[in-house]
Structure 1
Amino acid sequence: MAKDLAANLDLNLLRVFVVLFQEKNTRRAAERLHVTQPAVSQSLKKLRHHFDDPLFVKVTGGLAASSYAERLYDVVAPNLDALFSGLSYLDSFSAKEMTQSVRIALSPPAMMALSGALILRFKELAPKAELSIVTWNSQTLEELSNGDTLLGIHYGDVLYPKSIYRHQLALLTASVAVRKGHPLLKEKEVFEQLADYPMASQIIPGWNEKKVVAAQVLERHGMKLDVGFRAEESAALVDVISQTDMFMPITSLFPKHRYNDIAYPNVQVPEQDRYYPLYCYHHLRHRKSPLIEWLYQVIQQLVEEQVALNADK
């Protein structure tokens, strides 16, 4: 008769297994679980006995999972996440009473447009909590997976693992920014004329490090674009376009009201290249979290307010 693997199995052991599988290192697993390294080793010993399998073997740099552990993870991880998410959803949520630390990663354009407003709104609605805002980088998806970062805001075509879930926050419209007095401002409608001027392109980690999206758009329409400057920092790009004839691709999230020396020509981007979705990313285990739902609503409202403010410019 087959052994009943679910009988007398402590769910906390399964949680240790999932974290250990993700980290492949007992020390890092202990840090994430807020327990000692010997405690993790003791839990692993119990797991090995229960499943009658070594589960992990020592290799250079950490641990390697057995084939049984890989199959076990595929079964346990999504179901355990769903269980803990469901249990957390049962708790009542009050932003006013929240005391935990919240870490959010914003892509550079979102950082430029939302970080100040987000901090002010957070202090107003959750005065006892601590908010940390970091720039989205090459480690963000891993940090969303391991819990170091709770939420991330980025464009839609980011390659993300199955453990990450996303919601669409908004559909942003493409445009460009130039210095006041730029020749493009004399045109009633602008698109093909963009090829006559160099572009200042923002580097957005996880999206366009190896490609320049605006250049690809113009190439699809038979135009060749000169990329004159690239940077990740929004302030550097704004400084460059305010003193040169370069233009900077932006979206309807760009905070126009902050810059008196920047103007916006009437760019008629073809419809198939005009819209860019902005997404909220988080781990699947938080899919029904009241905190995540509240944060999503707060950020979505701030995005809508910024887009509406730009529509008046």
Structure 2
Amino acid sequence: MAKNLFQNLDLNLLHVFFILYQERNMRLTANRLFVTQPAISKSLQKLRHHFDEELFVKISTGLEPTSFADKLYKSASPIYQNLEIAINSANVFSPEALDDTLNIALSSFLLNSIGSKLYGIIHAAAPNCKVHMYKWSNDTLASIQQDQIHLGINYQVSQLPGEISETVIAQDTFKCYVRNGHPCKKNIITIPEAAEFDFATIIAADWNATRTFAQQVFEKYNLDYSIKFRSELPSAVIEAVSKTDMIVPLSGFLDMSLYPQLRAIKFKNKEKWLQQDIATYIHYKNRSSPLMNWLSHLIAQVFDESSQKSPAQ
């Protein structure tokens, strides 16, 4: 039975063979591959051992391929070139040609702040792409691990699974939001002044589901406080605040043109909880994916544009 010469063949050595065949010179081959001549000589020895053939003989002008080398080059070169094209094309990404469905999970705080903007910028670059946006839940990290969610956007999450890659992409500065006509007429408010009013908050999985940051701040100041309403639905919280004198802390990226019934009030106190890093979360194996890199770039662009449109913090 003939020996299977392809079995255990190092494709890097095969690449050296093709360049060596074209150049017929050790030095020129080494220059093209950005390695030393001894490295080329060592690779040639391995090739000779693998094929059990003398692939090249020395002549005054360099190297002359043997008949075995001629036959190998002529038969394998077209296949190798097609393989090279296929591998390189796998790294070429064209948003215009993208017709897949992107599953993206966002924190409840961010879904109503940048969700529509993010879809708009994705659609403009990839008009054939379908986008499904989900509210970040307790199962989102597991869904990312299982490739059911392609990318998540949330405030930094603690205790990440090892398979999840986190990249900080923006920073949010929270503000108070009240209805137009609210008793508080100030544009800047202190923590004690804010505690005089009832609060509403959004429940966000993996972030503040158990204990809100507002609670932590009020307790730090030894202030009495009242959180009257909490919901996982941003729309429900905003609707409740629009009809009462409650205050709701929300993302500074909130597009106020979409909520003319609300007014933003900045916090005077520079509390740590007011400044929150926003990160993207993907499966570690996709950290160098052209698709994920493109999508992450668009997300950063959305936050950057939203930040520029917002009043100075």
Scaled by the length of structure 1, the TM-score of the pair is 0.68
Q: Give a deviation string over 1:86-124, Cα, whole Å, max 9, x none.
A: x79952111111222211111112110122122222221
Which one-letter code corresponds to 1:161 in the other structure? Answer: P
Residues 1:290 and 1:187: Cα distance change in structure 2 (over 3 Å): closer
Computing the radius of gyration over CA atoms, which structure comes out larger, 1 or 2?
2
Instruction: Name the structure 1 match of 2:185.
Output: 185
The worse-fitting range, judged by mean Cα deviation, of 217-226 and 105-114 is: 217-226
Q: Report the CA distance between 1:283 and its aligned residue.
A: 0.5
Residues 1:88 and 1:173: Cα distance change in structure 2 (over 3 Å): farther
Q: Report the CA distance between 1:276 and its aligned residue.
A: 0.5
2:189 matches 1:169: no
CA distance in structure 2 between the partners assigned to 1:280 and 1:288 by the alignment: 14
Instruction: Name the structure 2 match of 1:308.
Output: 308
Instruction: Name the structure 2 match of 1:126.
Output: 126
Which one-letter code corresponds to 1:297 in the other structure? Answer: H
Q: Report the CA distance between 1:234 and its aligned residue.
A: 0.9
Q: Give a deviation string over 1:206-234, Cα, whole Å, max 9, x none.
A: 11111121111121122232110000111
**1:104–1:132 CA contact under 8 A, matched in 2:** yes
Instruction: Name the structure 2 match of 1:266.
Output: 266
CA distance in structure 2 between the partners assigned to 1:269 and 1:288 by the alignment: 40
* Aligned pairs (5 A) from 1:25-64: none
2:200 matches 1:200: yes
Residues 1:223 and 1:128: Cα distance change in structure 2 (over 3 Å): same
**2:152–2:280 CA contact under 8 A, matched in 1:** yes
Between the aligned residues of both structures, percent identity stands at 25
Instruction: Name the structure 1 match of 2:275.
Output: 275
SS in 2 for 1:116: helix
CA distance in structure 2 between the partners assigned to 1:188 and 1:130 by the alignment: 41
Residues 1:88 and 1:210: Cα distance change in structure 2 (over 3 Å): farther
Instruction: Name the structure 1 match of 2:117.
Output: 117
Residues 1:187 and 1:307: Cα distance change in structure 2 (over 3 Å): closer
Q: Give a deviation string over 1:220-269, Cα, whole Å, max 9, x none.
A: 12223211000011111111111111100112122222111211223213
Which one-letter code corresponds to 2:176 in the other structure? Answer: V
Which one-letter code corresponds to 1:230 in the other structure? Answer: R
CA distance in structure 2 between the partners assigned to 1:177 and 1:203 by the alignment: 16
Residues 1:88 and 1:284: Cα distance change in structure 2 (over 3 Å): farther
CA distance in structure 2 between the partners assigned to 1:132 and 1:188 by the alignment: 37
SS in 1 for 2:185: helix
Q: Report the CA distance between 1:171 and its aligned residue.
A: 0.9
Instruction: Name the structure 2 match of 1:154.
Output: 154
Which one-letter code corresponds to 1:276 in the other structure? Answer: Q
SS in 1 for 2:160: coil
CA distance in structure 1 between the partners assigned to 2:109 and 2:307 by the alignment: 13
Q: Report the CA distance between 1:189 and its aligned residue.
A: 3.8
2:101 matches 1:105: no
SS in 2 for 1:264: strand
**1:179–1:244 CA contact under 8 A, matched in 2:** yes
Instruction: Name the structure 2 match of 1:251.
Output: 251
Q: Report the CA distance between 1:147 and its aligned residue.
A: 0.5
CA distance in structure 1 between the partners assigned to 2:234 and 2:124 by the alignment: 27
SS in 1 for 2:153: strand
Instruction: Name the structure 1 match of 2:239.
Output: 239
Instruction: Name the structure 2 match of 1:138.
Output: 138
**1:103–1:133 CA contact under 8 A, matched in 2:** yes
CA distance in structure 2 between the partners assigned to 1:259 and 1:177 by the alignment: 10
Which one-letter code corresponds to 2:95 in the other structure? Answer: A
CA distance in structure 1 between the partners assigned to 2:209 and 2:260 by the alignment: 29
Q: Report the CA distance between 1:185 and its aligned residue.
A: 1.9
Residues 1:275 and 1:188: Cα distance change in structure 2 (over 3 Å): closer
Residues 1:247 and 1:189: Cα distance change in structure 2 (over 3 Å): closer
The worse-fitting range, judged by mean Cα deviation, of 99-108 and 140-149 is: 99-108
Corresponding residue pairs, total:
229
SS in 2 for 1:153: strand
Scaled by the length of structure 2, the TM-score of the pair is 0.68
CA distance in structure 2 between the partners assigned to 1:94 and 1:178 by the alignment: 44
CA distance in structure 2 between the partners assigned to 1:88 and 1:212 by the alignment: 48
Residues 1:210 and 1:188: Cα distance change in structure 2 (over 3 Å): closer
SS in 1 for 2:267: coil
CA distance in structure 1 between the partners assigned to 2:239 and 2:188 by the alignment: 25
SS in 2 for 1:229: strand
Residues 1:89 and 1:312: Cα distance change in structure 2 (over 3 Å): farther
Q: Report the CA distance between 1:285 and its aligned residue.
A: 0.2
CA distance in structure 2 between the partners assigned to 1:133 and 1:218 by the alignment: 33
Which one-letter code corresponds to 1:108 in the other structure? Answer: S
**1:184–1:193 CA contact under 8 A, matched in 2:** no
Q: Report the CA distance between 1:193 and its aligned residue.
A: 0.7
Residues 1:105 and 1:89: Cα distance change in structure 2 (over 3 Å): farther
CA distance in structure 2 between the partners assigned to 1:277 and 1:245 by the alignment: 29
Q: Report the CA distance between 1:273 and its aligned residue.
A: 3.2
**2:117–2:302 CA contact under 8 A, matched in 1:** yes
